[in-house]
Amino acid sequence: MSPAGRTALALAVLALGGCDRMQGGSTVAAAPENAAPSIEAISAVPLGDVAGPGKTPAPAIQDNPYAHNPQAVQQGEDLFVRMNCAGCHGYGAKGSMGPNLTDHYWRYGGTPVQIFKSIYEGRPQGMPAWNPALPPNDIWKLVSYIQSLGGTFPASAYQAWVQGDVPGTQFSPETASTLPADAAKAKPRNETATSSPAEARPDPGKTP
């Protein structure tokens, strides 16, 4: 290629790069619906319970790209045994040296993306980081399996969970009735507990 041609090419590449940056996009083609969220978006999601609910801003909701996919649940269960998650969390994930992953208590947050992050990044009290040993898709399948065990919070309930509830417990019954069916079926942990109807927020999205 001639020097002029090379310069033109370099300029074209620069222009493209600048354009992408202006739109905040990546160089990857538009993501198909239900594609896995980018690791950058996932990294921006704050930690769950340990950060304190009051200090935790609602993250952009990153749902599991394998949501409602029974095959992914099965593959996640296989991985859970094959990667020896079960060795620490127990077969059935009910806990042993590692915590129970089937209840509503989450040290680091119980929405799908927060669980993804716990697996991807590892956690200080003995949880190994599985990046890069496991590709993100396999981690999402593990999340699918853990979601199938019933203790997680649906991503859509995150706001209610942050604002209306004791850290580590489910949203109030009043809030639950305003959530999608899959959210409401996870029963509030402490139905007798403190929250009164006045504290429930039927419109959690409106207040900053």
| Whole-angstrom distance, CA of residue 22 vs CA of residue 61 | 23
Minimum gap (Å) between residue 52 Cβ and ligand HEC: 15
**Cα diameter, the chain:** 78
Tell me which residue of 36, 14, 15, 40 sits closest to 26, measured CA to CA.
40
Residue 128 interacts with ligand HEC (CB under 6 A): yes or no: yes
As beta bridge partners, residue 123 has 127
Nearer to ligand HEC, 38 or 107 (CB): 107
Q: From the list 92, 126, 150, 197, which residue makes contact with ligand HEC (rule: CB under 6 A)?
A: 126
Nearer to ligand HEC, 142 or 200 (CB): 142
Residue 127 interacts with ligand HEC (CB under 6 A): yes or no: yes
CB nearest ligand HEC: which residue? Answer: 85
Per-residue contact flags (x/-) with ligand HEC for residues 80 to 119, judged by CB under 6 A: x--xxx-xxx-------xxx-x----xxx------x--xx
Minimum gap (Å) between residue 77 Cβ and ligand HEC: 11
Minimum gap (Å) between residue 182 Cβ and ligand HEC: 19
Three-state SS at 118: helix
Indicate left, alpha or beta for 167 from its phi (over 0: left) and psi (-120 to 50: alpha): beta
- Near ligand HEC by CB under 6 A, which window of 33-41, 124-132, 157-165, 176-184? 124-132
Amino acid at 185: K
Nearer to ligand HEC, 108 or 171 (CB): 108
In angstroms and rounded to an integer, the radius of gyration of the C-alpha atoms of the chain is 20
Q: How big, in percent rounded to 5, are the helix, strand and coil portions of the chain?
A: 45, 0, 55
**CA dihedral (161, 165, 171, 176) positive or negative:** negative
Residue 34 interacts with ligand HEC (CB under 6 A): yes or no: no
Could you list the residues that contact ligand HEC (CB under 6 A)?
A: 80, 83-85, 87-89, 97-99, 101, 106-108, 115, 118-119, 123-128, 130, 142
